[in-house]
Amino acid sequence: MHESLRVNGSRLERRLEELARIGALESGGVCRLAFSPADKAGRNYVEGRMRSLGLEVRIDAIGNLMGIRPGREPGPVAVCGSHTDTVGTGGRYDGATGVLAGLEVMETLNEAGITTQRPLAVISFVNEEGARFMPDMMGSLFVRGDLGIGQARAVIGIDGTSVGSNLDDDTFPGSDDFHGFSFGSYLELHIEQGPVLESEGIQIGVVEGVQGIRWIELNLEGAAAHAGATPIEMRRDAGYVAGAIAQYARRLSLEIDAQRATVGFLSLYPNLVNVVAEQARLTVDLRNPDSARLGEAERRLHDFVEQTAALERVRVRSEKRVDVAPVVFDARIVGIVEAKARVLGVSSRRMISGAGHDAQIMAGLCPAAMIFVPSSGGISHNVREYTSAADIECGANVLLHTLLELGASNSGTDHAKFMQFNGLTSF
Ligand code: GLV
Ligand code: MN
Ligand code: MN
């Protein structure tokens, strides 16, 4: 049934351009850091699209936005989606692709007059990136009940403001708790953000899982001193220790199998040319598909930080800000994605995601999987991020046909019951 149905690729391309104008940077990229006015404007745009497609709109207390398309019967919903927040110097495809392709699927079904057996929905999660407020994937963690509204509101961002104060200035969030909503499945279309698909000339990544992520925030306290007059052995140089940690992150990546370690945020105080740094604040992003290796990387990092800081007489405060285990996606949905790519006549390969995604959080709530499309040059979290309209259209067609099958039958996890079973209080 409906085998010849296809999305409208040029309409989807136009929508991506419209959203990219919100928070546009002169360099061609986008800045819609979570809970900023640009992020809110982006979510408003998506809400407007949902309403114009006749979807039932629900918004929860943190700003997750859901548009539901009823089926012939109520019951577990086949959900797709992603996010529209970006890193500060982001591209126009990371996240936006999955949300707008989901809406394009709904528009295609509307035009074809198709009603699925089960309801379908598009969800746009808030603060997937975590670049301004840690943890990342905050919206999906909230939906899954791992993070309460009080906890989320108390998070202080890189600009010193709290999530709570930003939410209070934002009329966007609602009070919906998705009560009575049954997540049948969650499927996320996303750009690969790495080089594999493009270098192998393959159109679709059938994502089988996501590697684990840990984010460690380190606050180092030494002593300010004169850069010319203070002998090296008398220094308590927080900048030196921070630099040594960045070097050690590279060593971990080389010495532990499949390990990635990155110091992506580093700020020094007072940050002046002729003053030994009194304070350093930095983050270490650790990723590995294997839990044990990820644990080893974290242990070795902590040992190194302790020893190096002790030798320099620098005090250390360490906080784990993100701890997400590696995830294996639902074999049935992965199989459907692969089969749909085959039926559509497009090349595909199975792969593991290097980047973090809401799908890895949702996998703890309902069967989940992802579809990847190529990233030009493997570049992402960069204003030059690019995926061709043809590749996005191809991914959206795989999304359409996988959703049609999931919408025909969907077992489902009742959200309220899941929260109760896991001893979690709803939001
Ligand atoms: C999100 O984009 C992440 O992988 O950090
Ligand atoms: Mn993303
Ligand atoms: Mn991202």
For the stretch 385-420, pLDDT in tens is: 999 999 999 999 999 999 999 999 766 556 666 666
- DSSP secondary structure string for all residues of 282-313: EEEEEEESSHHHHHHHHHHHHHHHHHHHHHHT
Computed on alpha carbons and rounded to an integer, the radius of gyration of the chain in Å comes to 22
What ligand 1 atom has the least distance to the C-alpha of 131? Answer: 5
Question: Which string of b and e fits 55-83 if b means at least 16 CB within 10 Å?
Answer: bebbbbbbbbbbbbbbbeeebbbbbbbbb
Q: Could you give the 3-state DSSP secondary structure of residue 408?
A: coil
Segment 41-47 shows an average pLDDT of: 97
pLDDT in tens, 280-304: 999 999 999 999 999 999 999 999 9
Question: Is 355's C-beta closer than 6 angstroms to any atom of ligand 1?
Answer: yes
Q: Which ligand is nearest to the CA of 354?
A: 1
Q: For residue 368, which of 81, 65, 127 has the smallest C-alpha distance?
A: 81
pLDDT on residue 223: 98
* Residue among 84, 85, 129, 286 whose CB has most ligand 1 atoms within 8 A, to mutate: 129
pLDDT in tens, 119-175: 999 999 999 999 999 999 999 999 999 999 999 999 999 999 999 999 988 766 777
Quick check: 76 and 183 in contact, CB under 8 A? Answer: yes
Question: Is 85's C-beta closer than 6 angstroms to any atom of ligand 1?
Answer: no
Q: Could you give the 3-state DSSP secondary structure of residue 366?
A: coil
Q: Distance, CA 361 to ligand 2 centroid (Å)?
A: 13
Q: Distance, CA 402 to ligand 2 centroid (Å)?
A: 20
Question: Is 192's C-beta closer than 6 angstroms to any atom of ligand 1?
Answer: no
Measured over all CA atoms, what is the biggest interatomic distance in the chain, rounded to whole angstroms?
A: 79
Q: Distance, CA 356 to ligand 1 centroid (Å)?
A: 4
Segment 369-376 shows an average pLDDT of: 98
pLDDT on residue 415: 64
What does the alpha-carbon distance between residue 356 and residue 337 come to, in Å, rounded to a whole number? Answer: 20
Q: Distance, CA 385 to ligand 1 centroid (Å)?
A: 14
Question: Is 136's C-beta closer than 6 angstroms to any atom of ligand 1?
Answer: yes
Quick check: 42 and 48 in contact, CB under 8 A? Answer: no
pLDDT on residue 426: 38
What does the alpha-carbon distance between residue 150 and residue 122 come to, in Å, rounded to a whole number? Answer: 26
Give CA angle at 140 (350, 374), nearest 5°.
Answer: 30
**Cα end-to-end distance, the chain, whole Å:** 40
Q: How far is CA 223 from CA 103, 241, 312, 319, 335, in A?
A: 54, 12, 10, 21, 57
> CB within 5 A of ion ligand 2: which residues?
94-95
Question: Is 356's C-beta closer than 6 angstroms to any atom of ligand 1?
Answer: yes
What ligand 1 atom has the least distance to the C-alpha of 354? Answer: 4
Question: Is 135's C-beta closer than 6 angstroms to any atom of ligand 1?
Answer: no
Segment 349-378 shows an average pLDDT of: 97
Q: Distance, CA 132 to ligand 1 centroid (Å)?
A: 12
Which run of H or E residues covers position 349? strand 348-353
> Does the pTM exceed 0.85?
yes
Q: Which ligand is nearest to the CA of 264?
A: 1
Q: Distance, CA 64 to ligand 3 centroid (Å)?
A: 17
Q: Distance, CA 90 to ligand 2 centroid (Å)?
A: 10
Q: Distance, CA 19 to ligand 1 centroid (Å)?
A: 20
Q: From atom 3 of ligand 1, which residue's Cα is the shortest distance away?
A: 356
Length of the chain equals: 427
**Residue 179 pLDDT class (50, 70, 90 cuts):** confident
Quick check: 331 and 252 in contact, CB under 8 A? Answer: no
Q: Distance, CA 275 to ligand 3 centroid (Å)?
A: 35
Residue 313 has pLDDT above 90, yes or no: yes
Question: Is 129's C-beta closer than 6 angstroms to any atom of ligand 1?
Answer: yes
Q: Is the dihedral of CA 372, 377, 381, 382 positive or negative?
A: negative
CA atoms within 13 A on the CB side of 181: 27
Q: Distance, CA 129 to ligand 3 centroid (Å)?
A: 5
pLDDT on residue 131: 96
- DSSP secondary structure string for all residues of 308-328: HHHHHT-EEEEEEEEEE--EE
What does the alpha-carbon distance between residue 341 and residue 371 come to, in Å, rounded to a whole number? Answer: 10
**Residue 63 pLDDT class (50, 70, 90 cuts):** very high
Helix 96-112 to helix 9-20 angle (10° resolution) is: 140
* Residue among 207, 286, 322, 357 whose CB has most ligand 1 atoms within 8 A, to mutate: 357
pLDDT on residue 280: 98
Quick check: 380 and 193 in contact, CB under 8 A? Answer: yes
Q: From atom 5 of ligand 1, which residue's Cα is the shortest distance away?
A: 356
Residue 106 has pLDDT above 70, yes or no: yes
* Residue among 132, 134, 136 whose CB has most ligand 1 atoms within 8 A, to mutate: 136
Number of other residues whose CB lies within 10 A of the CB of residue 110: 14
What does the alpha-carbon distance between residue 122 and residue 136 come to, in Å, rounded to a whole number? Answer: 20
